[in-house]
Amino acid sequence: MKEILALIEKKKQDIAQTQLIQFMQDKSIDPRQRLAWTPAFAPFAMMFKDFNRIVLYKEPADSKIQEMMNQHSREDAQHWSWFLKDMQLMGYDSPINYTDALKFLWGEETIKVRQMAYNLFGICTLEEDVLIKLAVAESVEAIGNVGLFEASQVAKELTEITKQHYPYFGPSHIVKETGHIQADMDSVENFIENIQLTEAQKEKAFTLIEKVFADFADSMNEMFTFAHKHAYDRPFTTMSSIDKSVAQI
Ligand SMILES: [Fe+2]
């Protein structure tokens, strides 16, 4: 898997250059606005529970790697509740019609985020080879590591203002996630690196890694656009409609 991890590492550097990451680093912007994309991340954060439970988890495990995947997915399938807590703490629990919530979650502004989620299911649901699923899971973890690290820096600033701890976007989440799948052993990275793949497995893994990273980059761009269109305290109203309603007053 050495070449696989090397490609993931290289792609991870590209993700670090995306506009959303740079936006979160811009300290001239209010930290609340730098996290204004987070409601649009909901379709992924919530479906990730099912991806872990339904697709990555397999009982009984038929290999050491599947055992590791089970440990990992059992843990990661729980983190959606942290996302809900953050949304509540960030003030997004204000009443909204059920049908408006559905329109928001399945609307045009979050289509890339959903596409990324659908494609992960598409790639892995019928995949029998755990090594291919491992390459995909490692890609997701690497991207999560970049995004969550940056978000945790902003969340720290937010904590100074609100005195609240944010379990999903705050630093405690990134501490739990190393950038690799989480399993009970000394060096997961070392173990994974030494797994041997056939040429066919490598080729397939390379293609899928490119796809996963491209999907995440697209959805990060979409969330960057979202943060530009929506004031952090009005996620369900676009800036242009706010401008219009202000002009009418
Ligand atoms: Fe997580």
In tens, the pLDDT along 88-107 reads 999 999 888 899 999 999 99
Q: Nearest 10 degrees: CA dihedral of 139, 41, 224, 100?
A: 150
Dist. CA 173 → ligand 1 center (Å): 6
Q: How many helices (H) and strands (E) does the chain have?
A: 13, 0
Dist. CA 169 → ligand 1 center (Å): 10
Split at pLDDT 50, 70, 90, the class of 249 is low
Q: Give the residue carrying structure tokens 């990730």.
A: 48
Q: Give the residue carrying structure tokens 């976007």.
A: 169
User: Angle at Cα 106 formed by Cα 104 and Cα 111, nearest 5°?
Assistant: 105
Dist. CA 239 → ligand 1 center (Å): 31
Better-predicted residue by pLDDT, 183 or 24: 24
Average pLDDT over residues 21-49: 97
CB-count exposure of residue 186 (10 Å: 0-12, 13-18, 19+): exposed
CATH superfamily of 2-248: Heme oxygenase-like (1.20.910.10)
What helix, strand, coil percent values describe the chain, rounded to 5? 70, 0, 30
Does 227 have pLDDT greater than 80? yes
Residue-wise DSSP of 155-183: HHHHHHHH----TTTSHHHHHH--SS---
Split at pLDDT 50, 70, 90, the class of 58 is very high
Alpha carbon 120 to its chain centroid, in Å, reads: 12
Cα distances (angstroms) measured from residue 244 to each of 103, 131, 231, 241: 22, 53, 14, 5
Dist. CA 26 → ligand 1 center (Å): 24
Asked if 231 and 239 count as a contact pair (C-beta separation under 8 A), the reply is: yes
Q: Nearest 10 degrees: CA dihedral of 150, 156, 158, 163?
A: 160
Average pLDDT over residues 3-11: 96
Dist. CA 211 → ligand 1 center (Å): 21
Domain definitions of the chain by residue range = 2-248
The string of pLDDT tens digits covering residues 133-185 is 999 999 999 999 999 999 999 999 999 999 999 999 999 999 888 888 888 87
* Model pLDDT, residue 181: 84
Average pLDDT over residues 65-73: 94
Dist. CA 144 → ligand 1 center (Å): 8
Dist. CA 105 → ligand 1 center (Å): 20
